Amino acid sequence: MTEKLILDGNVVANEVKDALKSRIQALKEKNITPCLATILVGDDPSSATYVKMKGNACNRLGIESRKIHLPKETTTEELLNTIHELNEDSSVHGILLQHPVPDHIDERQAFEAISVEKDVDGVTSWGYGQTALGFGLYPSCTPAAILQIMKHYNIDAEGKHAVVVGRSPILGKPVSALLLNENATVTTCHSRTTDLPQFLKTADIVVAAVGKPNFIKGEWLKDGVVVLDAGYNPGNIGDADYSSCYEKASAITPVPGGVGPVTISMLLKHTVDAAERR
């Protein structure tokens, strides 16, 4: 790439969703409506907004959105019972537990209760392990979105040095595994990495996934780097300082309008995939 490229997530998301329309229609002709069940525990306003956005995206495509809203007092056992019921419901093809749950709930235990066949958000350790080994059905949606953006814009990871800043189980770790499977050389860093700029100076591809606004500075990057910002902080601010990183990058995702829209489209794709497999 010789020109600076803005990696427009809305374009990629629309391409993914357009490709789903005929598949959804084919399922409905067999009396199957793809169904995503979303579980929201408590009244966190950001989580409620995310669930609403996902539901609206489902409805626009003709995917059934089944919303389960549990009170913040819900116990781990009660949440597990809800998940087990959805696992047994053959009309539900995908299950999404909105993160985070209230502190008194064992979130990891709840994630692990989701059937791997319905784990369309890639949150179970079983699904993560399969993804890392290269045969997972449903990678975590944000890592999958990052790979989809790269595919759309013909950004080849093979032989490149990718530095992932972040190590969460549903973003930093799985995107590192996916990039490794694409034959990139991957360095996984995080907020406690000593002398982070020295690692970023050598990166051909940077994935910002540390959860800190404007954390990655342009002066830490080399010219021509590809910056994929998966951060989303209050005020629509990414994890990379956009203005300074833009000056160094050959390609960069904006925030908002970059990775976010594609994440939702990958959730829809995984739900349709699951419906077809059923």
Instruction: List pLDDT tens digits, range 242-278.
Output: 999 999 999 999 999 999 999 999 999 999 999 999 8
Quick check: 120 pLDDT over 50?
yes
CATH architecture of 32-117: 3-Layer(aba) Sandwich (3.40)
Single pTM value for the model? 0.95
- Distance CA(24)–CA(154), nearest Å, equals 27
Token pair of 105, please? 């709930």
Residue recorded with tokens 């976010």 = 260
State the virtual CA torsion across 29, 90, 100, 41 in degrees, nearest 10. 110
**Catalytic residue list:** 54, 98, 121
Inter-residue contact 268 to 238 (CB < 8 Å): no
Quick check: 1 pLDDT over 90?
no
Quick check: 97 pLDDT over 90?
yes
Q: How far is CA 137 from CA 16, 117, 162, 272, in A?
A: 17, 8, 23, 12
**What is the model's pLDDT at position 278?**
85
Task: For residue range 54-94, list pLDDT tens digits in order.
Answer: 999 999 999 999 999 999 999 999 999 999 999 999 999 99
Cβ neighbours of 68 (radius 10 Å): 18
H/E element, 205? strand 205-208
**What is the model's pLDDT at position 223?**
97
Listed by start position, the domains of the chain span 32-117, 140-260
Token pair of 33, please? 């409506």
Task: For residue range 5-31, list pLDDT tens digits in order.
Answer: 999 999 999 999 999 999 999 999 999
- Distance CA(120)–CA(97), nearest Å, equals 10
Task: For residue range 133-176, list pLDDT tens digits in order.
Answer: 999 999 999 999 999 999 999 999 999 999 999 999 999 999 99
**What is the model's pLDDT at position 191?**
85
Full DSSP string of 49-104: HHHHHHHHHHHHHT-EEEEEEE-TT--HHHHHHHHHHHHH-TT--EEEEPSPPPTT
Is the domain defined by 140-260 classed in CATH 3.40.50.720? yes
Confidence of residue 3 (pLDDT cuts 50, 70, 90): confident
Q: How far is CA 63 from CA 21, 216, 233, 267, in A?
A: 10, 37, 29, 11
- Distance CA(35)–CA(44), nearest Å, equals 24
Task: For residue range 187-233, list pLDDT tens digits in order.
Answer: 999 989 999 999 999 999 999 999 999 999 999 999 999 999 999 89
